[in-house]
Structure 1
């Protein structure tokens, strides 16, 4: 009985340590959305989704300053929920996706901002223009994934940027310059890494 208790305690400690130490996770594109919204002539507040997100994040619960995130957004997955609008968004008027096929974000600093809250500072690159942005992030959950049986983690985050900072300023000021980004993501540790 005592041996079983020791084994159980060891397993619990090992599981806790897996999340306390820095773990590298791969973003799950099927459960990750990067939504952009803006004001259109005062009439509406449309959305576009940056799909097919690719990236990794490192999360260290014991020292969040050792955490990081790096994300690539293929503009081929940009979806404004209308074929005609999708083509316009990818045109030279906006993202010029033929010339600049991806947008990227790479963190430069991660700070604790309260219980389960983080401030993630990083470099956002759109159309070859890089500017610093700060994401206000919330840790939703970190645990073993019930289906995949590997460590998993989930975050929500928001920030506001100006289109004109990135050369995507067509129709400003009639179409709003400020764009709100809302991000939700799940990520899992690859099985080989999770087994370490």
Structure 2
């Protein structure tokens, strides 16, 4: 009986491999599908980093991101991006610090539940990069912020079968300009953001 089990398992695995096979994602904008996309919240991450007393660059993140992307690879300057981030999703490796960041001395998630970014101008820079200027709203304050965006790849997700496009965006803001002033300059004013964004095409 054992001699039959091993070949059967091996055959099952061999048959499963083609189902997961895929054409590698493209980084050629000319091959990307135009249309309206929605954030894939399970595979989109927003990270942040700030100087901690000049000794280390402390990092954390946000989750449960939502939003939309209107994309036209033939006319990238016409693209539009809008994302919303629940402030209460902030997370660090310290439960105590995470709780403090949600409080009124920091992000005040109870009063200002969402952080958002809405693009106002997209400037292509080369084949797979762009500068995206937009309005960032945080802690009840809205100010312009520029994101440096790089195309990661696009194609059909081999599991969900949904056409997906991914980007990485980075930007820096001064938190004091948004009214988050606790412990400055002991804790750095410059807040560095990194967005690993995955967007699924809506049919």
Residue 18 of structure 1 deviates from its aligned partner by 8.4
| 2:164 corresponds to 1:156 | no
Partner of 1:39: 51
Alignment of 1:97-116 (within 5 A): 97-116=109-128
Larger radius of gyration: 2
Q: Deviations over 1:154-177 (max 9, x none)?
A: 000101110101111111111110
Q: Deviations over 1:14-57 (max 9, x none)?
A: xx998353x11111111111111010111111111011111111
Matches of 1:123 and 1:163 in 2, distance apart? 14
Partner of 1:6: none
Q: Deviations over 1:116-168 (max 9, x none)?
A: 00111100001110000000000111222222223210000101110101111
Calculate the TM-score normalised by the size of structure 1: 0.85
Partner of 2:178: 166
Partner of 1:26: 38
Q: Which runs of 5+ in 2 are unaligned?
A: 1-28
Matches of 1:19 and 1:185 in 2, distance apart? 16
The count of aligned residue pairs is 175
Q: Deviations over 1:89-118 (max 9, x none)?
A: 011111111101111110011110112001
Partner of 2:188: 176
Contact kept? 1:27, 1:56, Cα under 8 Å: yes
Q: What RMSD, in angstroms, separates the aligned Cα atoms of the two structures?
A: 1.6
| 2:147 corresponds to 1:135 | yes
Matches of 1:150 and 1:95 in 2, distance apart? 35
Contact kept? 1:144, 1:151, Cα under 8 Å: yes
Calculate the TM-score normalised by the size of structure 2: 0.82
Q: Give the ranges of 4+ consecutive aligned residues of structure 1 lying more than 6 Å apart after TM superposition.
A: none
